[in-house]
Structure 1
Amino acid sequence: MNARFLGALAAASTLALAAPIAAQDAQKSEAAAKPAPEPQVRSRDLAGTFGGQRVAYKATIGDTILSDDAGKAEAVIVTTSYVKSPADASRPVFFIYNGGPGSGSVWLQMGAFGPKRVAIPGDAKDDGAPPYPLLDNPDSLLDVADLVFIDPPGTGFSHLTPGTDPKKYYGLRQDARAVAQVIRRWINDNGRWNSPKFLGGESYGTTRTAMVADELEGSTFNDVGLNGLILISTILDFGVEDTTPGNEMAYVVTLPNMAAAAFYHGKVQGASVEAVAEEARRFAIGPFATALLKGQDLPADERASVRRELARLTGLSETYLDAANLRVTDQRFYKELLRDRGQTIGRLDARYTGTDYDNAGETPDNDPSFYGIDAGYTAAVNSWSRETLGYRTDREYQAIGREPGRYWDWSLQQPDRAAYLNVAPLIGQAMRQNSGLRLFNAQGYYDFATPFFGAEYSLKRYGIPQDRITWKYYGAGHMMYVRGEDRAKLSADIREFIRAR
C-alpha cells in the first residue's frame, strides 16, 4: 500500500468513527437541553371500611424526579400513597413494593393491601376474560397505617429519562439507593420524619428490603430509623436455591415444598399440610442432606432407605428418583408429579394445574399459576390509576418490566460477597444496630419460587436476633393473598405486627 492510500484509509476510518460519536454527542446534548420533566401529581379524597373501621383518606399518585449531581433529571419514580384524612404524623407509614426485580407494585396494591382489589378466583382457577371487577378491600391496612406503594425504576409507570445510563439504576445497590431516596423525599415532603416506619415487599422485594434498610439505616449523616421489616415470600440467599450441579442445598430447601404440593394433589397422605411440611423439614435437614453430601460414597442400603422415604414424601416413584440420583429439580417436579393425569403444577403456586402441548417433556411449557392471574391485575391497576385517580401518560404500565433484567447488576459491590449472593446478613446488621427493629416473615406452603424452608434457613443463621422475628404461614403460594382466606389472615397478621410496635 502506498502512503496516499493509507492516508485516505485513515481519513475514511476517522470519518466513520466520527459519525456515530457525533450522533452520540448530539443525543447527549439534546437530552441535556431538554427541560426537566414536570412532576405529575393527582389526588382524590375517598373513604372506605378497612379492618372494621371507616376511614377517610387521600389517594395520591405522583412523580418523584431523581436527578444527577448536575441537576439533570435521570428517573421518574411513580408512587401511589393512601393517607388517612386528616393527616396524622403519629400514624405509622408502610412503604411497599413488589419484586422481579422488574415487577411493579400492582400485585400487593391491587391484590392485598390497597383500598381496592381485583376480583379473581381464589381456588387456583384462571382469571378468564374481562371485565375484572374492582372491589372494596376490607383487608387493606389503612386502619393501622398510611400506605405508600413504590414502583422502582423500570417498573409500573416509572422510567429512566432519555440519555440516562441504565447501569446507574438497575442493580442491587443502585435500585436500593433510588428507592431510599424516594422514601426520604416522601417523608420530608409529608412531614413524617418522626412517624413509625415499616418497610417491606414481596419476592425480590424482600431482597430489596434488606438493601434499602441498609441504605436508610446505614447512613451516618441522614439515618432513617425503621420499626419493622415485612417480608412476603422471602428470597435472601440466592446461592442456596441455585440448582447448579454440585449445590446440594437446592434440593434440601425445596423438598418440604414438594411434600406440601404432593399432599395438596393427593399424592401423599398426612394429617395436614403443616404436619407434612414439618416431617419433610426434619427428613430434609437430616438423612436426606447427609445422603446428598456423601455423594458416590453413599452406601447402597442407605441410598435405598433414603429413596423410599423420598418417594413417600414427594409422591414420585422410586424408579424416577433413582434415575435422578435422588436429586429432582423443581422444574422436573412440576412436570413429573401429575404426569399420570396429563397435568403440570405451578411454580408460583403449586395448587394451580396446567395442560402442556404434550406429556412427554421434562419441564412444563409455562407456569399456570402466573398466566392464571396476570390479566386481571394489569386491567385493575390501569383502570384505577388512569380512570379513578386521573394519572395521564401514554406509557404502558410495566407489571413485569423487561428492561431492568437486561441490565441488572447482581453484585453487592463488596469483594468478599462477590461469589455468593446472600443479603440476609444486612438484615442481621440492621437489627443488631436498632434494638427496636422487628421482622415479619410470611410464606406460602405451595410457593416454589421462594421456598419457605429456604427463607427459614436464611433467617435462622447466626447474627440475626431470633426473638424479634414473627413467622407466619399460609395455605396458598407465592401470592398467598389470591386466596380469600389467606388474604384476610395475612392482613390480620400484619395488622397485629404493626400495632405491637
Structure 2
Amino acid sequence: MRRLPLCIAIAALCAAVTPAFAKDKAEPAAEAAKPEAALTQPQQSESEGSIVVEGRRVDYKAVAGTLVLHGKGDEEHEPKASLFYVAYFKKGADAGKRPITFLYNGGPGSATVWLHMGAFGPKRVVTADDTHTAPAPYKLVDNAYSLLDASDLVFIDAPGAGFSRLVADAGDKDKRDALMKERKKEFYSVDGDVHAFAQFITQFLSKYGRWNSPKYLFGESYGTTRSAALAAVLQTEDSVDLNGVILLSQILSFDTSIDGPENNPGVDLPYVLGLPTFAATAWYHHKLPQQPAQLEPFLKEVEQFALGDYAQALLAGSTLDASRRQAVAERLHRYTGLPVDYLLKADLRVSGGMFEHELQIDGDITTGRLDTRFSGPTMDPLSKEAEYDPQSAAISSAYVSAFNDYVRKQLKFGQGQSYRLFADIDHWDFSHKAPGAHEALQQSTNVIPDLAVAMKYNPDLKVFMNGGYYDLATPFFAAEYELNHLPIPDSLRKNISMAYYPSGHMVYAHEASLKELHDNVARFIEATDNVAR
C-alpha cells in the first residue's frame, strides 16, 4: 500500500524504490541463530575485474565487507552495528590523488542496491525504460556509465539494511531484545544515522589509507537529507573537509514534500512546488488540453504561475473570492489536465497521491510516483489516492534478484545471509538537532541549516544537485527552492550547480539520462578534485 508521511514526511519517500505491498520484517531462522560474534569482527572478500567506461578501460579491485561501529567516541567498548559495503578501487592509481566517493540510497533504512546496480557500479541490471520489466532471468551487463573512470566508489548499506546489522551481543533472549531496542532507538533516527555514517567513513579512510584523497558524498533521496547533515558533522566534528556533495533527487526540508501535505494544513508550499512535476507528467502522457511542443519552456511558464498567482491564491485561504478561485482552477486544468470540477472540490490543493490516481483514471490507470513516466492498472478506481507505485512494481524484482546473484557469485559475499532491502524500522525519529541548536527540534526534518554550515565552514565545498522532471517523490522544483533558500552569503552561491533530466526519481533508470548523469558527475569531480593535470 502507499505509505503516508511521518512527520509530514515520508518513510517511503526516499528509499529509491519501495516495493508494492511488501516490507521485509521477518528474520530468517538461520540468521536469528547466527552467533553475534560473526558480526563483531570486520569481514572482507576481495575480487578483481575490468570495465570499459565510454571507451576507457578501468581495471579494479572489488572489496565486499563490513566495518564494525562502536558508537561515537566508544571505539574500545561493545560493538553496536556492522555496516556492509562494496568498494571498487582502480588498480595502479595514486591513492593520494585518486578521488573517492561514498554512495548510499535513502529510505530511511534502504539498502544501496539501486545506485549500485542501476547507476555507477561496474555491473548494471537492464530494465524496461517506462514499462514493467519482464520476470527473470534478468540481464546483467557491463556498465558503460560506471563512475569508476572518475573516482573510486564505496557503496554503503544503512544500519539494518542489506547485509548491515545492528549488534546486540548480550546473554539471554530478554537481554538481547532489550539491547536491540536500544540499538534501534540509537541508529533509527536522523542524527543517529548521520553519526553512524560519519564513523563508518572515518574508519574506512583509516583502513584503506585514503585520508588525503579528494572526497565526495553521493546521496539519493533521503540520502540527500543524510548528506547535508553528514557533511556538517564530518567537517565540524571530524575535520574531514569534502571536495563535493552530489545530491540526486533531493529533499532537505520535509515541509516541501508533496506526499501527504493535507496532514499539515496551513503549509501550502508543497502544492506550489509540486505543480511543475504535475505539468511535466501531464505533458508526457498527453493529458493537457493544449499540448506544448517542448517541455522546458512550458515548465518555465508553470513555475512562474506556481510562485505567483497560484501561491497567492493558496495563501488567501478561505478569503479567496469565487471568481479568482474559478480562474485559478482553470489555469490548473490547463497545466495538469485534471478536470476543473475536481480541482475545485480539492480546494485547488492536489497531493501527489491524488494526482497519481486521477491523471489517467479514465483508463483505470495509475501514474507512477517515483517515475511518473510509468503507469499500471489501478487497484481501486474509487480510491482517493494511488495505492501503489507502478515504477516500484516494474523494476524492484530485477534489482533485488540481480544483486543477490551478483554479490554471491562474483563478489563472493553473503553466503547463508539474507539481503534485506529495508531495515526493520518500527519508528524513525525525524527530530533533528541542527548546528548551533541546544536541542533536537520537534518539527518536520530540515537540514538546510546543516548544508549551509558545511558550506560556510568549508568555503571551497561544491554542491551539485541532480533531479528528474518526472519525479513525484522529491519534485525537482522543490529541490531548487531549497537550495535557493540556503542561508549562505552570495559569494558561496557560485559553489552550487544543478542539472535536470527527462527521467524520474531514479534518474539512471532512463539510459540516456544515466549517460548524461555520469558525464555531469564525472566533470564535477574532475573540476573539484584539486589534482594537477
What TM-score, normalized to structure 2? 0.85
Alpha-carbon separation, structure 2, partners of 1:206 and 1:58: 28
Amino acid at match of 2:246: I
Per-residue deviation at 1:74?
Answer: 1.4
1:411 and 1:418 in contact (8 A); partners too: yes
Residue 173 (structure 1) aligned with residue 191 (structure 2): yes
1:252 and 1:284 in contact (8 A); partners too: yes
Per-residue deviation at 1:209?
Answer: 0.3
2:357 and 2:378 in contact (8 A); partners too: no
Partner residue of 2:243 out of 214, 220, 227: 227
Partner residue of 1:341 out of 346, 363, 366: 363
In the alignment, which residue of structure 1 is the partner of 2:472?
A: 448
Partner residue of 2:215 out of 197, 203, 206: 197
Q: Deviations over 1:417-463 (max 9, x none)?
A: 32242101111111112121101101111111001111111110142
Partner residue of 1:160 out of 166, 169, 177: 166
Amino acid at match of 1:136: D
Taking structure 1 as reference, are residues 456 and 32 closer, same or farther at Cα in structure 2, changes over 3 Å only?
same
In the alignment, which residue of structure 1 is the partner of 2:301?
A: 279
Partner residue of 1:264 out of 262, 284, 292: 284
2:222 and 2:250 in contact (8 A); partners too: yes
Taking structure 1 as reference, are residues 173 and 357 closer, same or farther at Cα in structure 2, changes over 3 Å only?
closer
Alpha-carbon separation, structure 1, partners of 2:107 and 2:38: 31
> Percent sequence identity over matched residues?
41
In the alignment, which residue of structure 2 is the partner of 1:107?
A: 114
Residue 288 (structure 1) aligned with residue 315 (structure 2): no
Per-residue deviation at 1:300?
Answer: 2.1
Taking structure 1 as reference, are residues 366 and 92 closer, same or farther at Cα in structure 2, changes over 3 Å only?
same
Superposed counterparts of 1:3-402, under 5 Å: 37-68=40-71, 69=74, 71-89=77-95, 90-122=97-129, 124-162=130-168, 163-164=179-180, 165=182, 166-219=184-237, 222-241=238-257, 243=261, 244-268=264-288, 269-401=291-423
Secondary structure of the corresponding residue to residue 96 of structure 1: strand
Alpha-carbon separation, structure 1, partners of 2:382 and 2:469: 28
In the alignment, which residue of structure 2 is the partner of 1:22?
A: none
Taking structure 1 as reference, are residues 308 and 115 closer, same or farther at Cα in structure 2, changes over 3 Å only?
same
Taking structure 1 as reference, are residues 119 and 357 closer, same or farther at Cα in structure 2, changes over 3 Å only?
same
Taking structure 1 as reference, are residues 309 and 390 closer, same or farther at Cα in structure 2, changes over 3 Å only?
same
Q: Deviations over 1:269-297 (max 9, x none)?
A: 11322122211111110000000111121
Amino acid at match of 2:250: T
Secondary structure of the corresponding residue to residue 396 of structure 1: coil
Alpha-carbon separation, structure 1, partners of 2:493 and 2:421: 34
Amino acid at match of 2:227: T
Partner residue of 1:475 out of 502, 509, 514: 502
2:105 and 2:221 in contact (8 A); partners too: yes
Alpha-carbon separation, structure 1, partners of 2:103 and 2:345: 44
Alpha-carbon separation, structure 1, partners of 2:36 and 2:131: 51
Taking structure 1 as reference, are residues 339 and 383 closer, same or farther at Cα in structure 2, changes over 3 Å only?
same
In the alignment, which residue of structure 2 is the partner of 1:19?
A: none
Amino acid at match of 1:142: L
Residue 434 (structure 1) aligned with residue 454 (structure 2): no
Secondary structure of the corresponding residue to residue 199 of structure 1: strand
Alpha-carbon separation, structure 1, partners of 2:115 and 2:35: 36
Alpha-carbon separation, structure 1, partners of 2:110 and 2:449: 24
Secondary structure of the corresponding residue to residue 205 of structure 2: helix
Superposed counterparts of 1:408-423, under 5 Å: 408-413=428-433, 414=437, 415=439, 417-423=441-447
Unaligned runs of 5+ in 2: 1-32, 169-178, 529-533
Which sits farther off after the overlay, 194-203 or 352-361? 352-361
Per-residue deviation at 1:468?
Answer: 1.0
Alpha-carbon separation, structure 1, partners of 2:91 and 2:34: 40
Amino acid at match of 1:179: F
1:263 and 1:276 in contact (8 A); partners too: no
Per-residue deviation at 1:325?
Answer: 1.2
Per-residue deviation at 1:161?
Answer: 1.4
Amino acid at match of 1:42: S
Larger radius of gyration: 1
Q: Deviations over 1:94-118 (max 9, x none)?
A: 1100000111110001000000000
Amino acid at match of 2:67: T
Taking structure 1 as reference, are residues 306 and 81 closer, same or farther at Cα in structure 2, changes over 3 Å only?
same
In the alignment, which residue of structure 1 is the partner of 2:13?
A: none
Alpha-carbon separation, structure 2, partners of 1:35 and 1:374: 29
Which sits farther off after the overlay, 175-184 or 457-466? 457-466
Per-residue deviation at 1:364?
Answer: 2.1
1:118 and 1:376 in contact (8 A); partners too: yes
Which sits farther off after the overlay, 181-190 or 298-307? 298-307
2:430 and 2:444 in contact (8 A); partners too: no
Amino acid at match of 2:119: A
Alpha-carbon separation, structure 2, partners of 1:479 and 1:42: 29
Per-residue deviation at 1:31?
Answer: 12
2:122 and 2:143 in contact (8 A); partners too: yes
Q: Deviations over 1:179-206 (max 9, x none)?
A: 1111111111111111110102100000
Alpha-carbon separation, structure 1, partners of 2:83 and 2:277: 36
Per-residue deviation at 1:152?
Answer: 1.7
2:404 and 2:419 in contact (8 A); partners too: yes
Per-residue deviation at 1:36?
Answer: 6.4
Which sits farther off after the overlay, 64-73 or 371-380? 64-73
Alpha-carbon separation, structure 2, partners of 1:110 and 1:456: 27
Alpha-carbon separation, structure 2, partners of 1:117 and 1:35: 30
Secondary structure of the corresponding residue to residue 71 of structure 1: coil
Amino acid at match of 1:116: K
Alpha-carbon separation, structure 2, partners of 1:417 and 1:472: 32
1:95 and 1:149 in contact (8 A); partners too: yes
